[in-house]
Every structure is written in structure tokens, then in C-alpha cells.
Chains A and B, each alone.
Chain A
């Protein structure tokens, strides 16, 4: 199978993720879209590793997964904390840091 197809899939996933982050208000969904973009990048790394026949890309993909796992923990904790205090998971409501 042509390995470039994986790249197309990755691009598609990344686009879905990016659009999701911009247009959705729900913090959980935005968060999942961020994960989609991360995984699109992972997929690209692995694909290029395959194309070039080297291991580096795959190794970096593992790093990304580990970092993503940590980030999920922190991110979800923040979302839960915000939800508890404000009774809302909308990212537009948490706009207290402007100017």
C-alpha cells in the first residue's frame, strides 16, 4: 500500500482537529481535537520513519505519546477544576485573562 496515503489521512485528521479547536466551544471537545492533531503528527512521524526506513520517527512518536498522556492528565484536571467553579465547560466563558 502506498505509504503516502497515511500522510493524506494524517493531513485530514490534523485539519479536522484544527477546525475543531477553532469552532467548538466545549472544552472537552476542543481537548479531543488537540489530541487529534497530536496523533496526526504522530502518524506523520511514523509514516516518514517507514518511508525512510529509519527508527528515529518512531522513537519520537513514543515521546509524543508520553508527553500527550501527561498533558491529558493536567488538561483534564484543569477542565474539571474550571467546571467545578464555574459550572460551565465552555472555553469562551474562561476569558478572564484578557487585557
Chain B
């Protein structure tokens, strides 16, 4: 592999930014946001430079590595801190630094009234550095460092306004649920080391060709748990909705465009494991399919604009996981959907932030309405993202989602029909709830109070939105032109030979079905919200299904009754055991000594003669004892 010495700057720049901003303290308040943005932009520039170098090299030499230092060297266990930039990583690098820089710019204005803006930028830079380490690490252990780093940054940023107890709780919830996934990743690393003696991607790939399927399945399932935790997939999805407590740019960057897609990256990066472990791969598909429907249903019931978008993120990542679980045929499409989603969902979150900015931080969509007139730029950029996500041709989401649906149908047999229909059904619900968001916010009659004065956001906020909107329009077309992205990524997934070309449906039929599903969803939503009265208060006399959906399909109740309460009971039991058994034993020793002491004290009569008698008896007993023993 070609070696490079400049990869480290990708990570070093934002990391230095974070360190400077955190260490300089209040002194950096005046220029902290500028430095943070510059560091992120610098990292983006390095990424573009790396891309240009990569394009100059022939296909088989495009991947470059950089060894930083020997990290762990214990016996046969050797791990280098090394970076790997290949065709897959560079997609992520450009997405993270590109979208990240835009969101930095947006945040300059969005956070301008927050006295802790410098700290916010420090955390953003920390996040960028960690995320880059995650996608650039050349071994699972290096990836794990970045994985934990983004978890930390996510925790810090969700709880950025931790003066509100609910927000602090949300950040803790996200952290704890992520730990479950992290545990899966660490188990996967341990199993990989125990079975293969290596934790680097190349080493594990090498070993996976002649490894037992059981070991690969175990690793695959553990990796899936890790991916589910980080990407908010079923059954570890409950944290994402509450993560919307963070400032909106954070939701856009971390909880829509980049961090939550790390699970998809992990699965696609570990393609050699999942290809050889059909059971694990099937589980991936099942998790993806469940989540894409789950998120979509939750999305239909949310009145909080950010939570509706969060549910949508969950659902869209479900599509990516589904694509990644479909094997070699789906990896490239999962990544494509990830990239297009990065554009349109980040753009929509920024749009939501812009709406909140103009509406005194109101998040309830039932209090919006008719904002099209007051926020034309936000309306247009959000609208382009909306057209992209529901999959209207020729916007980005149409291409990427359509390809995943098509691949799902082609998975073969009953499985293919089931997965394809699920994905199709999800597309219809997506169209429904996104139209609902759009209508409730922008086009329906106004439902806000007279003291609201909606206004367009400043230029620093709408320029990033505009750029992301352009991406939402064009990326799908660019990626699919001549299968550009698929061919670009092909070397990463190894040569699996041409996948079977048997189609259940012709591509054009699938597209037609998808567009029909979308039109049905849009039509229902329009009839329900645009052409009929919407209450400013959420109606309470609703069906049991709506109520369940409003409660996130009881995810918190299930977690509470299945895990939290038994966990608390176990904790109480352990505390009782500790108090009564462990502490009891210690206290028993103490009480015995005290009791024996107070009994013995009674011999201290103060009479010299009784002491003398005791000494005498003791001496006689001693001598008698010695005599008996020596006889």
C-alpha cells in the first residue's frame, strides 16, 4: 500500500482547534468560533487535496496508509496507531469535513447569543476530529478510539444546555444506550483477536477467508449491536429522539449527517465478515427493515419538528442498514444513501433550526403554519431537502432510495419480496410524514400567536442551507451517472464477481412503484393537513394507535419494564446483599472483638492479688502445656 505522511493533518487540525479553544478559556471567546470554523475548513481542504492525489493514482493504488506510532506491543499482540484512507474513507472524510464546515459556519450565527459559543465550537471540533479518526483508523482498535470520541462529543453536545435537567437526562440516556453498543464493539474486537490474532482491517480480512463461520457470526452479531447503538437502530433506538435536546446544528451534524451513520460505516467496512456470515447478515437486514418502519411510524405522530426529523433519520438509516445487509449488491447503495442523506437531512435540520430561530425557539409544528411567506429561503431549501428525502425524481433521495428498494426486491425469493415491500411501504410513510412536516410548517394557515414575528435568518445561516440544498438536488444524479460511486467503491469491497443479474422487477417498474407509493403518501398527507383544519393543540381523543405512536411505540416503556426496573431490582438486591452479607460479616468481626473485650474487662478488678493469681495460673498452665507437649 502507498504510504502518505499528510493524512494526520486531517485529524490534527480540528483536534488542535478543540485543544486551543478548551485550554484558552474565556480569552478565546472573541475569536474561538472563527478558529473552530477555520480548522474544520482546513481539514476539508486537506481532504480535497487527498482526493486529488487519489484521483491521480491508478485504481489499485488509491488506498494510502500512514503509520503514526506503535501503540500496543505485548507479545504477539501488536497494534500500530495507523491511518487508512481508501475510496470508502474519502467519501466520509469529505462528508464530515464538508458538511461539518457548513454547519460550523451556520453555528456562528445560530449560537451568536450563547455565551458559551466558544465551548460549543470546541466540542464541534472535537467531534470532527473523533469522527475522522473513526473513519480513518486502519484497525478496529483505532476505530474504537474514534467511536468513543464521537460518543463523548455527542454526550457533551446533547447536554450543551445542561442547566435544564431534562437535557442533561437526555445526554445521559444517549450515553448509556451508546455504551451498550460500545460493549458490542469491544466484544467484537476481543473475539477477532482471540480467533484471528489480529484487529487490523487487513489482518481480519485475511484471516476471515479461512475462519470458522461461528467466529465470524459472533463477530458480525457483536458489530451489529455496536452499529445499532451508534446508529439508533432497533432495539437500541430510544436515545435519538431525546438527543434533539442538543442545539440544532448538533442535531444536523451529529444526529443526522455523520455520527449516527457510523454504524453503517462499520458494517460496510466489515463487509468481509458479513459476506462470510449469512446469519449475521440476515440479522442486519431484519434490524434495518424493522427500524425503517419503526422510525417512519414514529415520525407520523410527532408534533415537535426536530423529533419528527429525528424519527425520519432513524428510518433513513434503517434503509442504509438494510442496504448494507443485502451484501455486495447493496454496500455501494447504502453508502450512496448515506451521502445523499447527509446532504438533505443536514439541510432540513438547519432549516428547522432556521424556523426555530425565527419563531422564538418554538418547536411544535402545530404552532407554525404559513411560514412560506416569512421565510422564503428556508422554505425553498427545506423544500428541496423534502423533495429529496421523499424520493421525487430527479432529486438525490430518489436515486439512492430507489436503488436500495430495487436491491431489496432482488434479494431473491420470499425474502426479497418481503424486504422490497417493506422498503416500499416505508417510502410511502416517509412521503406522508415529511409532507406533514412541510405542510404544517410552511403552507397551512398560520396558527401562531400574534406576538411571534417570524423572519428570515441571517446570511450566515442560509448560505450553508443553500449549499446543502444544492447537494440534495444534484448528488443523486452525480453518483449514479455511469454508476460512478459504485465503481469508485468497488475496490474496497473486494472482487465478489458479478452479482446475479436476475431481476424480480425491471428497474423502471421499481421506480414506478416507488413514485406511486410516494404520491399516495403525499396525497394522504395533503388531504389530512393542507385541505382540512389543523388544531393548534394536539387532539387528545385519538385512536390507540396514534397514542402509541406518539409515545415512540412504547420504546421507553418497554425499556423501562424489561431492563430498567429489573436492573433497579437487581441493584437493590445487590445493595442489600452488600449491606447485610458483606458489611454484616465485617460488622460481626467488630462486634465479636468488642464483646470479647467487654467480657474480658471484667477481670480487671483492681485487686493486685487477683492479678497475681491470674499470672500464677497462667504460668502454671503454660508450663503444664509445654510439659505435655514435650513429653
Contacts and interface: CB of A to CB of B under 8 A. Distances in A.
Contacts of A91: 607-609
Contacts of A18: 616
| Interface range, B side | 10 to 19
Contact of B605 (A21, A22, A25, A95): A95
Interface string B599-615: 00100111111001100
A99 B601 contact: yes
Contacts of A30: 608-609
A97 B608 CA distance: 10
Nearest to A95: B606
Contacts of B604: 98-99
A79 to B, nearest CB: 12
A25 B616 CA distance: 17
| Interface range, A side | 10 to 19
A92 B616 contact: no
Nearest to B605: A98
A30 B613 CA distance: 12
B606 A98 contact: yes
A94 interface: yes
Contact of A22 (B601, B606, B616): B616
Contacts of B608: 30, 91-92, 94-95
A1 interface: no
Contacts of A70: none
Contacts of A22: 609, 612-613, 616
Interface in B459-504: none
A95 B616 contact: no
A96 interface: yes
Nearest to A18: B616
Interface string A17-48: 01001110100001000000000000000000
Contact of B609 (A21, A96, A97): A21
Nearest to B608: A91
A30 B616 CA distance: 14
Contacts of A94: 608
B609 A92 contact: yes
Contacts of B606: 95-99
A95 B607 contact: yes
Sorted nearest first, the 7 A-B pairs with minimum C-beta distance are A98-B606, A95-B606, A22-B613, A91-B608, A21-B612, A97-B606, A95-B607
22 contacts: A18-B616, A21-B609, A21-B612, A21-B616, A22-B609, A22-B613, A30-B608, A30-B609, A91-B608, A91-B609, A92-B607, A92-B608, A92-B609, A95-B605, A95-B608, A96-B606, A98-B604, A98-B606, A98-B607, A99-B601, A99-B604, A99-B606
